[in-house]
Structure 1
């Protein structure tokens, strides 16, 4: 379960950073996480700042209890700084049931440099992390793993439109299938907001249920729908 949690859970939301950053007050996107239909934890993302300096804070807290005992625990903290739509800095810390991980990265004039993490060194300037909130990741075939700092090759296919539940209300969403170093299903609303996630870990189905209503002032001037992607080969 550990590796898959690190790959699929580290990170998650909705539109371009510039559009979101026009909201000065902090905004939050929240999910409950289920394991085989049972409560497993939460995944929360908050946004604050301006169009020139957007700050994104991500918190994932998961655990499995057996009676009075906690038999599995996962925590992940991710702080991203964005400047003019570009990832300027990222710092994450993860406790994967006792195994600790940390990555630190920053933009440079020539690209993006990972100072701490498995892929330490120079990375592409347009690299995007596996926090999923930036839907432009659907156009990429290379993602930065926010737990380990490893580069992940992925291929993405748009499956089609489905009806899912968002904050207890039916909503139309586009489903995307991710294959390669990561395997998962992602859902985005028509306005671009991240709406769901599902993957399998050690035979258990892990699913995100969004508890934040759609259009909660997260898109001040709207956002274009995520592009229809046939495939993006690694």
Structure 2
């Protein structure tokens, strides 16, 4: 198995929902999304998002913890922490740190009027203030032609295709979700429920194995 960069393109409960005007997207009213990460159907980690709304400001905390093991020994690790702040539908700041199997990434993004200022190990400089991070939770992502890499700050051109409605199992129950296919410098299959909440993610790891996020 090629262990390097298995998750390199990442950023990655009840379904009673509330509209959040700050990010112009929906998130669980309970304030959390908890995914089990699977590789070839076997559990390898977790992907968790926490949302906190305060007035017109939305804070999003993201944590991914993955370990691929062979004979009980971790042969690949991916650890990511992200912190996003949104206001009036725009990203105000983003800070992240990542351990991609021993390769460290650090990113800091701040807003200066209509521009985002990016300071990452993959890029430094100004960016379009309307760009959306590739943290996947915000359904507005499917309307974009480029996304901000949440590991190193690079800009990733993408093409998004609407596949259509499909049945997805969430916590033992079937629901209808819209499937979108993201291709380009980020490749992801994404499913959002009828209210716009992320409910499933699939993509191929560097070794060709299928990685999936299953909402629990």
- Which structure carries more strand by proportion? 2
Find the aligned partners of 2:63 and 2:193 in 1 and give their Cα distance.
Answer: 22
Distance change (3 Å), C-alpha of 1:22 and 1:190: closer
SS at match of 1:59: strand
TM-score normalized by structure 1? 0.82
Matches within 5 A, 1:58-207: 58-201=62-205, 202-207=207-212
Displacement of 1:19 in angstroms is 7.1
Find the aligned partners of 1:189 and 1:21 in 2 and give their Cα distance.
Answer: 12
SS at match of 1:100: strand
Distance change (3 Å), C-alpha of 1:116 and 1:105: same
Match of residue 10 from structure 1: 11
Higher relative contact order (CA 8 A, sep 6+): 1
Match of residue 208 from structure 1: 213
Distance change (3 Å), C-alpha of 1:160 and 1:110: closer
Equivalent residues of 2:50, 2:62 under 8 A apart: yes
Displacement of 1:51 in angstroms is 3.4
Find the aligned partners of 1:17 and 1:41 in 2 and give their Cα distance.
Answer: 31
Unaligned stretches of 5+ residues in structure 1: 212-234
SS at match of 1:196: strand
Displacement of 1:119 in angstroms is 2.6
Q: Deviations over 1:77-114 (max 9, x none)?
A: 00011122211000000001111001101011131110
Find the aligned partners of 1:22 and 1:185 in 2 and give their Cα distance.
Answer: 19
Give the RMSD, CA atoms, in angstroms: 2.2
Equivalent residues of 2:120, 2:152 under 8 A apart: no
Displacement of 1:6 in angstroms is 2.3
